[in-house]
Structures are given as C-alpha cells and as structure tokens.
Structure 1
Amino acid sequence: MTAELEKLWGAVDPGRLRKTLLEMLEIYSPSGKEEDVQLYLETLLTGAGFRVERQEVEQGRYNLQVTMGQGEPRLYLVGHVDTVTAWDLDELGPREENGLVRGLGSCDMKGGCAAMVEAWLALAEALPAHELPSVGLLLVVGEEENGDGSATFLQACRPPCVVIGEPTGLAACFAHYGYLEAGFVTRGRRSHSSLPELGHNAVESMLRVLLHVGRHAMFDRERSEVVYSIRELSSSRGGFVVPDRCEAWIDLHLPPDRDPLAFQRDVADIAATAGNHIPGLDLKVSFDFASRGYSLGTDNLLARVLGDIYSQLELPLRLDAFRSHSDGNLFHAAGVKPLILGPGSLETAHTPDEQVVFEEVVAAARIYAALCLKAGA
C-alpha cells in the first residue's frame, strides 16, 4: 500500500460516518420532498470548507454538486438522496443493532451517499490542495420516480465516468439490466353484483390475461433471465357492481443484451393471443417507459484499479450485473461510463426491513476514496 493511500484510508472516520448516516436517516426525504436532506448535506459540506453548487431541477428541488482538484472532473461519485414513500411514519427512524443500521433509505441509498460524503471529507483531509484529484460529488433528487435529478445534471455535464452507490453488497456492476414498464387495461360491462351473468367482469378478464402472459416461457423464473413482476392491480370502484375496468402495471427487468423495443413487441404479441382463451376480452396494452441495459466489460480504468483496491482491503472482488433500474441507465445513454457499486443489498431495499451492514458502509467509503485518488489523478 502506498503511503498516500494509507494516509487516505486513515482519514476515513467511522464515527463521523455513522453520525452522518444516522442523521440522514432521521430526515424523511421521499421523491419530490428532498429539500430537508439536501439542506442538511449542504450545511455539512459547506461547514467542511467546500463550495457547494445548487443545481435546480424544479422549484424547491435541486441537486448538490461539489468538485475538487484542477480542471473538469474525470470521475463523479453519484448518490440519490430520495427514498420511496414510508409505509409507517412511526417506524421511520434509524435503529442500529449488532452492526446493522435499519431504516428507510439505509441501503437505497443513504448508506451509499453517506459513504461518498465521508470519502470526500477524507480526501480533503488527507491530501494537500495541489494533490487533490479532479473529481466531483453529485447528490441528486428524483431517482425513485423518473430520474429528473440526474437528467438535469446530464444536460450540463457529461463526465467520462461515474460511480453510483446503489446497493450491490459491494459487488462491482459494470453491466446493468434494462427496464420496461407495461400497462394492461381490460374493459367489461357493469352490472349489479348479484347479477354477474348480465355483465362482463374486467377483473376476471385481467386475472386470466395475467395468468396467460405469466405462463409464457419468457417469464419462467427457473429458466429465463427476464424479471417479470406484477406491480399494481386496480379496478373501477363503483360499489356493489361488477367492475367494468381493471388496470395492471408490470415491471420487466431485461438482461443487458435484450432490446426493450423488440421485447415490447414480444409482450404485445403474447398478450394479443389471450383473446383466443378469454371470451369477450377487451384488452389494451401500453408501454410508458423503456430503458436499455448495457455491459461495459472490464477493459476500462475503474475495472483495472478495483482489483488492487479490493486486494489491499482484503475484500473479494465480485463482478455482477445490476438487476434493478437506476440512474445508471440514464448516464450510459448519455455516453457516460457508470459503475454501480454500494453497500447494502436489493433484497431489503423498498421493504419495511431495509438495512445495511455498517462495516460495508465504511468499506464503501474507503473504496470510493481510493477510486477518486486513482481515477481522478
């Protein structure tokens, strides 16, 4: 280990990092209401002597952008500060027990954000100003909804590389699944609930459509790499009646090499055959959002330096494809090379049991700091 890297990792302060993470988790910041957590982070960073730029996304919502070193940053650390909406506000706050930090956003991705902030503070403490790498820190809003924070940043800046701290269990994801959102609507004929034979039940039709589509080999969870998840199901609410409308939303996560537009046609073709088995079916299929996946391979700067970093930290370097949707798709589509790497795992993200191992957060801070040092030099 070089003296410079040893000094940098020594500057990573677990106590300060724990305080940052727990205080971030105390602040409720669902998509669209991120200002309180951004004010907290802005105060923390300006108090440490950094010039923090607000990048307006819309009124009352903004990204935070900080840079160091000379010239345009070669690498940005990117974290999203928003979370999904809380199920129970009484159970919102952080809880720490046996090395686990629990709470909304703990792994997705306030753990990653806190680690990035700590890496930033450690770099500034460990290195003289003239040796600081040319890197940036970007804390964005809106990832859990439509990615409007990252989209705003990309209108003005397209760095060569970014590291996004989504929960990967510290696996390095140079590949990323694509995403397709499908909407199904069935229509029927309303009748009194005691006389269903006089109507046409749109919910029954939808259930049969979903069973028909789900049985296709393309969605076989044992054999297919496509991730098929029914996200929402709702019907017209009219009291004691046979419902005449039903709507379903389906999330489809596609392997990096699958074309979402071609897959869209496949799904539409499968759905079109449902009418052969469902009498009187009135079905409309729409696709509101599509994002292509990618695979960068490992012939790039970040991949080359990661092996050495993990070896010195005595961590196994695992390579994977990120299975969810993230702002990584937006960055890649804009010509930026994204590495997805962060503490925590998708298994608990968006659940009431969301959690992150604190030692993973500390390790992430050291990895981010070392990547900045080596890739931003």
Structure 2
Amino acid sequence: MKTERAKEILLQLLKIPSPSGKEDRIMLHIMEFLHRLDYDVTIESDGEIIDLVVNPNAELFYEVHVDTIPIRAEPFVRGNIVYGTGASDIKGGAAAILLMLENLRKEGKDLNVGIVFVSDEEQGGRGSALFMERYKPKMAVVLEPTDLEVHIAHAGNIEAYFEVDGKEAHGACPESGVNAIEETYKMLEKLKNLEPFKAKGEFFDPHIGIQELVCENPVYLIPALCRGRLEARLLPEQEVEDVLDIMDPILDEYTKSYEYTEIWDGYRLEPDEEIVQMAKQAMERTGLDEFGGMRSWTDAINFMYNGTRTIVFGPGNLDISHTKFERIDVRDVVTASEFLKALNEIYGKGA
C-alpha cells in the first residue's frame, strides 16, 4: 500500500538527523536508496556542500533540500500523521520523490526529469547555488511545504539586524530616560504604516515584523539598548529597492545602527509559461486545483536568478514547519508523489 510505503520511507529519513552542515549521513542513505533502484547518481561538492544529482541532462529538475533546522522534536507516528523536525520542511517532499522513483521502477517507466537533493537550504542556500553554478535547467520544481498548492508566485524579502539606542534611568523614573523597547515599537509602528505594507496581494499580503528582540536589563532600569531582527515580506511585484528607499529614513531615525542581511526580489510566472501549463495538466490528473504563492525564502530564488523558470510545490504545511509540533499527513506525501510522477510523464511526452 502506497501510504504505508510512504510512511516507511519518510520515517527512515526522519530518523537520520540532518541539521544544516550535517547532511553526510542522510545523503549516504539517499544515495544507497537510489543505487538499489539502479539509478546513476552524480555527486557534486565544493568540499563543504554536497548535492546528489540524477539524470543530469534533463531540462526539467525536481529539487529538494535534505537539511533541517536543529532538531526540536523526535519522530513519531499517530495513524497517518508523522511528527518530527523536518517532516513538513521538507523530508515529506524528499520521501515523495523517492516514492515516485521507486514506483517508476516497479512500473517499468522512464525517469524523464532530473532530480537533485541539496544541502544547506536552511542556512545559506549554498546547495542550490552550487547546483546552479554547474547545471542550467530550463525549468524546475522546488519542493517545499505548500499544502499541495502549486506556487507560481514567490515573495520578496528584506531582513535587517538593528540596534535601538535609548537613555538609561532608574526604573521608577521613566520620564528621565528613553526606553529602548518603546522606541523599537515606535519604529515598528512607523514601518507598518508605510504604503507597501498596507497593500493587498492575490496569494498573500505584505508584512513587516520583529522576529527577534534582545534587551538586557538585569537591574531596575529604563532599558537603554535593544538588539533585534526585523523581516519584511513583499509582494512579487514590489521592488525591494523602492521599499528600502522609504524604510531607510525610519531606521536612520530610530536605530543606533542597522544592517540588511537578506534582500531579494520576488517573482510571478505567467499562466502561459511551459512549466505552469505542464503543472496544470498534472494537477488535473491528480485532483489538485489550487495555485498559490510562496511566502518564505526558498531555493527557487537561486533557480530563478539564474534563469530557470521555477514553481514551488510539496506536501506539508508552512505554518507549522520549524515548530516543535511539525508534522505531515503521509497521504499528502502520496498525492505529491503522484503529481510529480504525472508531471514526469507529461514532460517526457513533450521533450
């Protein structure tokens, strides 16, 4: 039964911890899995990053990262739900690919697409960058948790680390000091009121917020310094440089210092593009009908930057990914595998 086999493959992956920088064991497991199915595997490495490539000459590639955040939850199963760090992001997607490859062999069908398993997505995206240095596929499907939606749009992003300066005073005398925490929230309120963050999008809305804030205050004082990290999600059509131009004056006003650490533009594919049309056919064959947009950074940005037209798709839920409650329904892993198999066939007929 495909559901039980999907569960078995996924649990094998989850039982091998693979936080970013420690992907060696899981890459070896995947390589042995592929060799048992008699697939040739090309190892790409720069001495630190490892990628595994199957069918390297294909013009359509399926890409999935095998690294996770540091382990927050050990794997366990309740019925068809598999829990554990990486279950949703994105070992469920890796299991869908492996299940597809296994079923293609059982059915005597050809693998028409290329496959690449990459490292380091969660930290620096160096695995996909290494792949794109050495390969230039025309199209790609990047596996990420999308709730089985086919994402044809991708958010842009701005991330910045900052320090907000205040003035120290006794805790009972707030009028004599400047509270760095309160200044930080004044800054955030001004940022939220900028026009780009009040816009509305088709698949998601723009957003700006603080994701990390540290303000040490070991004694009874008005806090004088806050350090933090803010993140802005932009619509695909919003230009990062335009948004930076109106954020800078506010950050200049409120911060002691700031540094942009991640900046990228989003994108949106047109309905008539080849990869979108093939995906639509595969959706019809597998009972899927939802298009959407990816809200988080993914390897798709590296692919698109290098000219590869890329959709994002996979089983799993982005909302619960990275949390201690991360989980996935293996029936969605099976559905994702069937979609990928249908797309492999559609591409093969047109190649």
**Global fold match (TM > 0.5):** yes
- In 2, are the aligned partners of 1:45 and 1:52 still within 8 Å (CA)? yes
- In 2, are the aligned partners of 1:57 and 1:149 still within 8 Å (CA)? no
The answer for unaligned runs of 5 or more in structure 2 is none
Q: Which of the numbers 308, 319, 332 marks the counterpart of 1:347?
A: 319
1:325-364 mapped onto 2 (5 Å cutoff): 325-364=297-336
Partner of 1:250: 230
The answer for unaligned runs of 5 or more in structure 1 is 1-11, 276-280
1:48-197 mapped onto 2 (5 Å cutoff): 48-59=37-48, 61-67=49-55, 72-87=57-72, 91-97=73-79, 99-127=80-108, 132-190=110-168
SS class of match (1:86): coil
SS class of match (1:375): helix
Displacement of 1:220 in angstroms is 4.4
Output the CA distance in 2 between the equivalents of 1:57 and 1:149.
10
- CA RMSD for the aligned pairs? 2.6
- In 1, are the aligned partners of 2:152 and 2:291 still within 8 Å (CA)? yes
Residue type matched to 1:323 in 2?
A: R
Displacement of 1:217 in angstroms is 4.9
Displacement of 1:198 in angstroms is 6.5
SS class of match (2:345): helix
Displacement of 1:95 in angstroms is 2.2
Displacement of 1:126 in angstroms is 2.4
Output the CA distance in 2 between the equivalents of 1:24 and 1:138.
16
C-alpha spacing 1:137/1:316, structure 2 compared with 1 (3 Å): closer
- In 2, are the aligned partners of 1:170 and 1:360 still within 8 Å (CA)? yes
Larger deviation: 14-23 or 188-197? 188-197
Displacement of 1:183 in angstroms is 2.5
Identity of aligned residues (%): 27
Partner of 1:292: 265
Q: Size of the alignment, in residue pairs? A: 347
Larger deviation: 303-312 or 156-165? 303-312
Residue type matched to 1:251 in 2?
A: E
Displacement of 1:269 in angstroms is 3.1
Larger deviation: 201-210 or 291-300? 201-210
1:261 aligns with 2:241: yes
Output the CA distance in 2 between the equivalents of 1:189 and 1:178.
35
Displacement of 1:162 in angstroms is 0.9
1:310 aligns with 2:292: no
1:14-42 CA-partner distances (Å, limit 9, x unpaired): 43322110111122222222222212212
Displacement of 1:148 in angstroms is 0.7
C-alpha spacing 1:22/1:301, structure 2 compared with 1 (3 Å): same
Displacement of 1:307 in angstroms is 3.2
Output the CA distance in 2 between the equivalents of 1:249 and 1:241.
23
Q: Which of the numbers 209, 215, 228 marks the counterpart of 2:208?
A: 228
Output the CA distance in 2 between the equivalents of 1:227 and 1:191.
34
TM-score (norm 1): 0.83
SS class of match (1:347): helix
C-alpha spacing 1:170/1:238, structure 2 compared with 1 (3 Å): same
Output the CA distance in 2 between the equivalents of 1:25 and 1:282.
42
